[in-house]
Amino acid sequence: MEYRNCNDELSVILLGRLTVELPELEVNLQKQLSIRKVIDEVLYKYEVTTKETSLVASDIEEKACLFLACRKLEGLSERTLKNYQLELQLLNNFFHKPVSTINSMDIRMYMATIGKNIQQNTINTKMVPIRNFFQWLQDEEYIISNPTKKVKPVKEPIRERDPLTDAQVETIRDGLIDIRDKAIFEFLLATGCRLSELINIKVSDLDWSRMSLLVIGKGDKQRRIYFNDRTKIVLGKYLSNREGQCEYLFSSSRRPYGQLKQRAVQLIVKKIEEKTKPGRNLYPHIFRHTFATRALKYMPLETVQALLGHSQISTTQIYAKTDEANTEFMYKKIG
């Protein structure tokens, strides 16, 4: 007979039985975590073992490789593939049994474990690859049912998008001196593009006459974005004065004047905050929030959805917050 330590397995089983007996635990993730911590503390002093005649091997890693290969063929970006790979590796480290034996309670216990000391929205984000993986397993008939379907996402606190005010935009604009800082600020504000899209734009991508360009967004989807006269003028000044012959729109200010990376742009935006002191925490995505909020005052929801590259219109609706001043303004227009 072969023996193995089963403390973790017993901890999961006990918590699962308690959840069955106390249904309120099913929707109270924090309480589950507290109870799991107490169980683990008690079991720490003991070594629980079980008898078995054969070891059951996990096939998660094997199936995950196939899943990632399929997603790569479907055009998933390298960055997203790496995120998927990381989350699936964590899943593989947690479970030591075949995917066909993983049930909904197992998934809840996994969420409780990875949910320690992180925010609710982060838990849901980390679960996206896991949910997609099990749905793929079901679609490919590796498993009969998808255990993640019965597991609801963790309820996230509702937070309104808080864009820059007009006064804050002008404060930043008036305080900028460096031409590259100005160009990055005006371009992000005018286009609403993502940081990942910004760093991959080449000078040759710009259609100066139409003041537009095509970008590659999430899911390798292409869309057209536009910029205004102010941005066109600032970009022209920046490009005519910068050093080097970099093919990318935004390049480093030091040799060899290569393509700016995401971290570099984040640091530039943080320095813009320090220099201009708008009274707000600045980060690249706040300009996308600001663009979306402004655009929704003048454009149909579907148009803004297309400009932002959202696959679901519900994502765009997050920005569709109407304040009292705007409601009054729109009402007077019909009077």
Catalytic residue set: 194, 218, 285, 288, 310, 319
Three-state secondary-structure class, residue 305: helix
CA atoms within 13 A on the CB side of 297: 13
Read off the tokens for 47.
């070594």
Question: How far is residue 19's CA from residue 225's CA, in Å, rounded to a whole number?
Answer: 50
Read off the tokens for 243.
């050093």
User: 195: closest CA among 268, 303, 247?
Assistant: 268
CA of residue 291 relative to chain centroid, distance: 19
| CA angle centred on 40, ends 36 and 43, rounded to 5° | 140
Question: How far is residue 135's CA from residue 145's CA, in Å, rounded to a whole number?
Answer: 9
SS3 content of the chain, % helix, strand, coil (to 5): 60, 5, 35
CA of residue 279 relative to chain centroid, distance: 26
